[in-house]
């Protein structure tokens, strides 16, 4: 392999291509929603994979994942798209591509599971994953205690988390369960994944937080299953 080719590969590896890919897929799905009848059309949301509790109980477990790529209204996708881009680029640059992808998806699953357990309404949106990224920023200063930029980023997003949670408490139509579930999931998953070249790492620490995440996720899913079954199938 020539030096020029190696240099091009290194430049490509440094680009936030996972963030670009997730954002591109999210925009594509929104366009598909629009073409099939509108992003606020309940039938389109059902068809393309929004979180619907009754359908999850009936075996459509993939609805714990697919809602992260759907949005309800142009304002919804614009806000989340901006956050995916700016926050995603920063987090992906710090923790690497595959860690970032797992963090995003596992946070989404945790958030959608919490919504399944505590919110009976249909829901969709990347907020579950984005709150997971917020949760990860709270962990990063512990990985890089001497990095001023990481510390400042964490402080900024802590304020944003508080503001979003407070606004959510007084707003209709916001899936607070999904937000909190994603936040907690992201916090735990960030410890589980660790971070490259960080001073705090080790199999025991990663295993500990991975087990906590798995146990909490299992409990939440059981709650969602029992609640939905009692409401709709008894």
Provide the annotated active-site residues. 127, 179
CA-to-CA distance for 224 and 229, rounded, in angstroms?
A: 8
For 79, phi then psi, to 5°, come to -65, -50
CA-to-CA distance for 58 and 92, rounded, in angstroms?
A: 36
Residues 66, 70, 76, CA angle at the centre, nearest 5°? Answer: 145
Q: Are 181 and 110 in contact (CB under 8 A)?
A: yes
Cα 131 from chain centre? 6
CA-to-CA distance for 27 and 49, rounded, in angstroms?
A: 15
**DSSP symbol at 51:** B
CA-to-CA distance for 67 and 52, rounded, in angstroms?
A: 9
CA-to-CA distance for 106 and 128, rounded, in angstroms?
A: 9
């Amino acid at each position: 392999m020539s030096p020029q080719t190696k240099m091009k590969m290194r430049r490509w590896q440094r680009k936030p291509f996972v963030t670009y890919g997730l954002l591109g897929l999210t925009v594509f799905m929104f366009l598909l929603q629009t073409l099939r009848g509108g992003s606020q059309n309940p039938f389109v949301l059902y068809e393309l994979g929004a979180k619907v509790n009754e359908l999850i109980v009936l075996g459509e477990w993939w609805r714990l994942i697919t809602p992260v790529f759907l949005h309800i209204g142009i304002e919804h996708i614009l806000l989340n798209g901006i956050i995916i881009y700016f926050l995603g680029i920063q987090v992906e640059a710090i923790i690497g591509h595959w860690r970032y992808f797992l963090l995003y998806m596992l946070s989404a699953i945790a958030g959608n599971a919490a919504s399944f357990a505590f919110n009976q309404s249909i829901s969709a949106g990347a907020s579950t994953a984005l709150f997971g990224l917020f949760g990860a920023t709270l962990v990063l200063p512990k990985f890089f205690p001497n990095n001023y930029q990481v510390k400042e980023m964490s402080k900024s997003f802590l304020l944003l988390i508080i503001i979003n949670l407070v606004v959510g408490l007084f707003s209709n139509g916001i899936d607070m369960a999904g937000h909190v579930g994603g936040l907690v999931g992201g916090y735990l998953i960030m410890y589980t994944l660790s971070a490259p070249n960080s001073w705090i790492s080790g199999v025991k620490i990663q295993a500990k937080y991975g087990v906590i995440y798995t146990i909490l996720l299992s409990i939440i899913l059981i709650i969602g299953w029992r609640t939905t079954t009692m409401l709709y199938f008894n």
